[in-house]
Amino acid sequence: MSAQIEDERGKLNLNDLSSGGDPTARKTKVLRVKRLFELLQVNPDLVDAIVDWVDQDEVPEAAGAESLYYQTQRPSYRAANAPLQTLLELRLIKGVTPEIIEKLSKVVTVYPQEGESRVNLNTADSLVIQALDPRITQSIAADIIQARPFKTIQDLDRVGSFEAVGKELRLQNLYDIKSDLFLARMIVSVNEVTRNATVVLQRNPNTGTGAVLYFRVL
């Protein structure tokens, strides 16, 4: 058996795009994901369609799509208007292809489906770090990665190029230096039969116990 572990807290959470809360904060979250798409060279207009899929209304964004669009498809279906359950659900969203999902899989997550999402700067990819704020350049992201690991949030202040914007983003609870959500991609071979499995685990930091949020075998 072989396994590859990924920190889901080191990614941007697409379920943060759902409606609710302060409209200004929501707009900032949308712009953050659009920046990530641009850095990945993926059409940022697709973010509007994702917003429409996870928000609770039937009013389409400028480049989005709600149930009225999906009911013209064959077979027809409706927008979920609820949090994404898995990344594979993106296949149902207007304009999203398997190739795009493959590009996104290393830098976005759908966990947690509710609640607070802060990016773990100890594990985040350079593109995710840059997406947090337009003032974070590739050079600043490289400085952060070079200075890892961080034992406390305050340790990030020693990254001079990030210090000013970092303190501002810290007040917005945008990032952290620890995680409790992990994805494992496993290859298991038994009696010359090979299977691929994906599992998402959430660890309780207080008890040390874990819960399986997702499990899939191919």
Mean pLDDT within 161-177: 95
At 116, the pLDDT band (50, 70, 90 cuts) reads confident
- One domain, residues 143 and 172: yes
pTM: 0.92
Tell me, what's the pLDDT at 142? Answer: 98
Report if residue 152 sits inside a domain: yes
- One domain, residues 168 and 213: no
Rounded-to-integer distance, Cα 49 and Cα 37, Å: 13
Q: Is the pLDDT of residue 178 over 90?
A: yes
The residue written with tokens 């996870």 in the block is 54
At 2, the pLDDT band (50, 70, 90 cuts) reads confident
At 100, the pLDDT band (50, 70, 90 cuts) reads very high
Q: Is the pLDDT of residue 20 over 80?
A: no
Report if residue 160 sits inside a domain: yes
At 192, the pLDDT band (50, 70, 90 cuts) reads confident
Report if residue 70 sits inside a domain: no
Report if residue 41 sits inside a domain: no
Tell me, what's the pLDDT at 188? Answer: 83
Mean pLDDT within 108-119: 90
Report if residue 99 sits inside a domain: no
Least confident span in 72-76, 117-121, 140-144, 206-210: 206-210
Report if residue 54 sits inside a domain: no
Rounded-to-integer distance, Cα 105 and Cα 88, Å: 10
Q: Is the pLDDT of residue 174 over 80?
A: yes
Which range of residues forms the domain containing residue 130?
A: 118-178
Report if residue 172 sits inside a domain: yes
Q: Residue 55 phi/psi, 5° resolution?
A: -75, 175
- One domain, residues 157 and 185: no
Q: Is the pLDDT of residue 19 over 70?
A: no
- The residues with which 181 forms a beta bridge, in sequence order, are 202
Q: Is the pLDDT of residue 194 over 70?
A: yes
Mean pLDDT within 24-29: 88
Mean pLDDT within 175-179: 96
- One domain, residues 189 and 173: no
Mean pLDDT within 92-105: 97
206 or 82, higher pLDDT: 82
Q: How many independent structural domains does the chain possess?
A: 2
Q: How does DSSP assign 131-168, residue by residue?
A: HT-TT--HHHHHHHHHH---SSGGGGGG-TTTHHHHHH
- One domain, residues 166 and 204: no
Tell me, what's the pLDDT at 81? Answer: 96
